[in-house]
Amino acid sequence: MKLWQKATGNKKEVEQFTIGRDPEFDLILAPFDVLASMAHAAMLATIDLLTDEENQTLQKGLKEIYYEIEQGKFSIEPGVEDVHSQVEFLLTERFGEVGKKLHSGRSRNDQVLVDLKLYYRAAIRELVEDSSTLFDLLLLLAEKHKGDLMPGYTHTQLAMPSSFGLWFSSFAEGLSEDLGMLKAAFDLSNKNPLGSAAGYGSSFPLNRTMTTHLLGFADLHHNVINAQNSRGKTEKTLAFAMSGIAGTLNRLSADVCLFMNQHFGFISFPDDLTTGSSIMPHKKNPDVFELIRAKTNQISAVPNTVSLLLANTTTGYHRDLQLLKEEIFPAIANLKDCLAMSSFMLKSIKVKKEILLDPFFKHVFSVEVVNELVLKGVPFRDAYKQVGMDIESDKFSPDQTKINHIHEGSIGNLNLDLIRKKMEKAILSFDFKAIDSAFLSLIK
């Protein structure tokens, strides 16, 4: 029987259809549900809806359940609707009627919403940490290979000289900018919705500021309707932020697949990091990066799916919102995997040296020669035409060892220290210490 159920229950078909994949996602939310319940119980004691003794009993019971979750000993029993019900059933079973008092002043609407906010905060933290790990590796590779030249491309055609240092650090700086988008999602996740109940508040004198502090939220959604309407907005913002990181990884993986091709041969990986063919002995396939490319494309589709799920939903809660978890939760897991595997693979990347010394790449130096003529006083249009004519008549023969790029962010001046500072500033904008402090106080 459901906690909210009255005389009769739902038909089996309705129940199966409406529950969907929620049980598997509820296990992910379980520790956050318990932490939110700890804060809620402590608040109820201050407004005399729980005695101090009842609060102490609930705090003890909730901590027991929290540690069971941490140890993998928690499950949602058959017939129990969700994680909220399971926690309440366990408290009632172990400590009696006091377990039934915990839901005072709450609705399942704000209960699941606060769980999601807490989970998203934690997930964003992991994405920040994984992005930071990849960032550090990319800067290390950029420094190591800053003198190793490679061709740059526009329209997938040979363009101008580039370098592996420039290539690696482009993705590093891109990640630092992606964290700016992720910060917007963090800020929305870092607002407390608890106390909004079903979306219209409560006749109990709830202290929402107290639960905000206890759960380490930076602020609360002051308007209770807006608190409920933030479900969906938070997911959409997070989806766009993840698609930003995914886009950076997608371009990296696409480049890797291309540069590993034998027609390029710019980079390689050890045999045990590639796959072979069942009939072609020579094959070394970039399967990992092909899958990163595919998975990041899937992640980039999530914002559109989320937007469509939210279409036509009026103010207040709708069951449509349940399906957001089916898009966001797997996307978070996939993005973490893609970040981790990118770092794992790039640790073993091998770069080909002296690529641009091959006469095949001589046209890459056309702009260098044009600029040299301009520096000698030749008007740019005349210099461009002169070099173009030399190329057409096959008389173009540049010095393929001479590169003189010194402006900020160019081959000879990568600005790696400034890019690192940009990343450090982005990471510091996430106040994870306040969350740690709040949770530590609750668990104590």
C-alpha 330/C-alpha 295 separation (Å) is 11
428 shares a domain with 369: no
Q: Could you tell me the CATH number of the domain that includes residue 26?
A: 1.10.275.10
69, 101, 133 — which closes off a domain? 101
213 shares a domain with 246: yes
Please state the pTM of the whole predicted model.
0.94
- Domain that includes residue 395, residue range: 358-413
Domain assignment present for residue 335? The answer is yes
226 shares a domain with 310: yes
Closest CA to 420 of 142, 130, 47, 61: 142
Q: Could you tell me the CATH number of the domain that includes residue 187?
A: 1.20.200.10
Domain assignment present for residue 305? The answer is yes
Residue 104 and residue 51 in contact, taking contact as beta carbons nearer than 8 Å: no
Domain assignment present for residue 1? The answer is no
Q: What is the rounded average pLDDT of the residues 376-390?
A: 97
- Contacts of 3-9 with CB under 8 Å at 24 or more apart are 3/81, 3/85, 3/88, 3/103, 4/108
The pLDDT tens digits of the residues spanning 165-183 come to 999 999 999 999 999 999 9
Check residue 149 and report its DSSP letter.
E
The pLDDT tens digits of the residues spanning 257-312 come to 999 999 999 999 999 998 887 788 788 899 999 999 999 999 999 999 999 999 99
CA angle at 47 for the pair 85 and 99, rounded to the nearest 5°:
25
401 shares a domain with 289: no
pLDDT at 331 over 80: yes
Domain assignment present for residue 283? The answer is yes
Q: What pLDDT does 81 receive?
A: 83
Burial class from Cβ neighbours inside 10 Å (0-12, 13-18, 19+) for residue 299 reads buried
421 shares a domain with 407: no
Token pair, residue 190, equals: 């870092």
Domain assignment present for residue 4? The answer is no
Mean pLDDT of the chain: 94
Domain assignment present for residue 187? The answer is yes
272 shares a domain with 182: yes
Q: What pLDDT does 5 receive?
A: 55
Residue 320 and residue 235 in contact, taking contact as beta carbons nearer than 8 Å: no
Region for residue 20 given its phi and psi (left: phi exceeds 0; alpha: psi -120 to 50; beta: otherwise): left
Q: What pLDDT does 354 receive?
A: 95
Q: What pLDDT does 61 receive?
A: 97
101, 123, 143 — which closes off a domain? 101
126 shares a domain with 87: no
379 shares a domain with 313: no
The pLDDT tens digits of the residues spanning 4-34 come to 455 555 577 776 776 777 778 899 999 999 9
Residue 82 and residue 7 in contact, taking contact as beta carbons nearer than 8 Å: no
pLDDT band for 418, please (50, 70, 90 cuts). very high
79, 101, 123 — which closes off a domain? 101
The tally of domains found in the chain comes to: 3
- The residue annotated as part of the active site, out of 277, 348, 397, 441, is 277
- Name the amino acid, one letter, at 325: K
Domain assignment present for residue 5? The answer is no
**Does the annotation count 277 as an active-site position?**
yes
Domain assignment present for residue 7? The answer is no
- The residue annotated as part of the active site, out of 85, 103, 107, 155, is 155
288 shares a domain with 239: yes
Closest CA to 35 of 101, 121, 93, 130: 121
